[in-house]
Amino acid sequence: MDMQYYQLGGHRAAISLHGGQYGTQRDFFTPLQRHLRRPDESIELVLGIKPSGSSHLLLTWEEAKLFEPDRYLFKKSSPATEFYSLSPIVFKDAKQLEEKLDNLTPKKSGARDTSRLNKGYEGQSHGAGRSRVESARVFYRILRNRLDQGKYNIRDTSWASSIRIVTFSCNTWLSDTRSLAQRNANPRVLDVGWSEASLPDLGDEQKTYSHIQFANNINLAPGGDENTKREPFQWGASQLCSPQEIKDKVQGLFGEFSSTRPVVLVVHNWDSNPGNNAVPVKNVLWSLDINVDAVTLDLKDLMWPPVRRYAPKDPRRPRSASPTPHNRSSRRPSPPPPPRSFEQVYVVDVGDMSRKIFGTQDCYSLSQMRRRLGMYEDQGFCAGNECRMLFEVFREMAKRGPIDDQKEEWPLGTLAASASVPSASASEPSASLAFHDDESDYGEEDESD
């Protein structure tokens, strides 16, 4: 049975200020602190993202009972299925909780949520994109064994012991003047690279690296506004191969992906065309004869798997272990196996994550994203080197605080660099008045364990 949650504060709250002993928003902190008994005296609550994109602070039954008698609570619950994601948010003191609740409090009563954080999401459908950031945060904490799984309605994490994290990067010719349809159908690829993360430590060093340059395009540089210098591959020897050889090698990589062992595929710009003429990763893979239509674009399906329903004749439909006696002798031959499926491949697009965190609709190139995050100096291009960069960017975003608070956690240079970038439209606001947290919602994390 799915968990039931009780909204703390905000529009249509289950638990809210009602006079008596809870006269101000910060008065909720101490009872929760005493109940949760965390070593650092902070409190960890559940952050729920709804399909519209709105965010909500949630309490479990045991937490909600601190403020409301049992008999009043059963009519005020929200099932886990009401939210696209359920993720941790930590408050170090009462002031931080008060600031968050103030930003979730509607400016006036009524049917619409007029709070500072959520007013722009009324009638919208930004939940899928915003929840992908939160799902990545939950995924990271599961791998690091830093999550109370039951609190977040997560029943099974057996996949954590066998999962693979593979990063794939590619560079295409940005000076290509053909039409968008032609570029996407037959991209001029300069190089590709991939690496596999080392688990469970999630350290900088990767288990494997590969970098291959297209021999037929070796004299081309990206062009456009990007740095056109080819950088040497730092983690091994580059290969120079024909298009067919590269196709075989990349198909070999994807051929290793098992239908029973999940793979997280980390990329930059999976299916969106950046303004700089780059071709999406999905189209590059299609050009290498890899059918990626069946991949999953959200880690939430790994942690909160949807119920799968198959057609009656679908060969994947569960069947009885043995035929009944009356039809055992007349069984038809088994149907052919279904086409190669990548249903256990979960794509994480760090470009999409950065756009959601920093509140912009722009589609940044990898070079622009590096500058925005302040993690790397501007460099030339090398898909092999970029694989490690992408993994490190993914890890940094996943280890930090919730989506509405994370922008403030990045270096000051990041915020200064973003000043010249168009801000999000009113339909997808970016919250800046969130609690400050030096490293993540868990405070300073020790990466040595």
Predicted local distance difference test score (pLDDT) of residue 164:
95
Taking residues 394-399, report their average pLDDT.
94
The answer to whether 23 touches 17, Cβ cutoff 8 Å, is yes
- CA dist 123 and 110 (Å) reads 15
Task: Identify the helix (H) or strand (E) that includes residue 157.
Answer: none
Report, as an integer, the average pLDDT of 286-303. 93
Find which of 103-117, 194-208, 232-246, 272-286 is predicted with most confidence, using mean pLDDT.
232-246
Question: Residue 174 is inside which H or E element, if any?
Answer: none
What are the tens digits of pLDDT across the range 421-446?
Answer: 333 333 343 333 233 333 455 444 44
For 193-209, what is each residue's pLDDT tens digit? 999 999 988 888 889 99
Q: Is the pLDDT of residue 321 over 70?
A: no
Give the H/E segment covering residue 160. Answer: none
86: Cβ–Cβ under 8 A, 6 or more apart, which residues? Answer: 5, 46, 47, 48, 58, 80, 134, 138, 152, 153, 304
Q: What is the pLDDT of residues 347-386, one digit of tens each?
A: 999 999 998 998 876 656 777 777 777 777 767 889 999 9
Selected residue with higher pLDDT from 444 and 133: 133
Amino acid, res. 240: L
Would you kindly state where each structural domain of the chain is located, as residue ranges? 4-128, 162-303+341-420
Q: What is the mean pLDDT of residues 311-339?
A: 44
Q: CA 44 to CA 27: how far, in whole Å? A: 16
CATH fold of 162-303+341-420 reads Nucleotidyltransferase; domain 5 (3.30.420)
Mean pLDDT of 292-314: 76
Helices and strands, counts by H and E, the chain: 14, 11
Nearest to 58 by CA among 36, 90, 86: 86
Peptide bond into 336 cis (omega under 30): no
Q: pLDDT band at residue 25, thresholds of 50, 70 and 90?
A: confident
Q: Which of 29, 386, 19 is nearest to 231 (CA)?
A: 386
What is the per-residue pLDDT across 45-88, written as a single tens digit (0 to 9) for each? 999 999 999 999 999 999 999 988 766 676 789 999 999 999 99
Residue with the bigger pLDDT between 343 and 33: it is 33
Q: How many CB atoms lie within 10 A of CB 229?
A: 11
Residues whose CB is less than 8 angstroms from the CB of residue 34 and which lie 6 or more positions away in sequence, other chains included: none
DSSP code for 23: -
CB 256 within 8 A of CB 210: no
- On the question of pLDDT at 119 being above 50, the answer is yes
pLDDT of residue 448: 43
| pLDDT of 175 strictly over 80 | yes
For the segment 141-161, what is each residue's pLDDT rounded down to a tens digit?
999 999 999 999 998 999 999
* Percent of the chain with pLDDT strictly greater than 70: 78
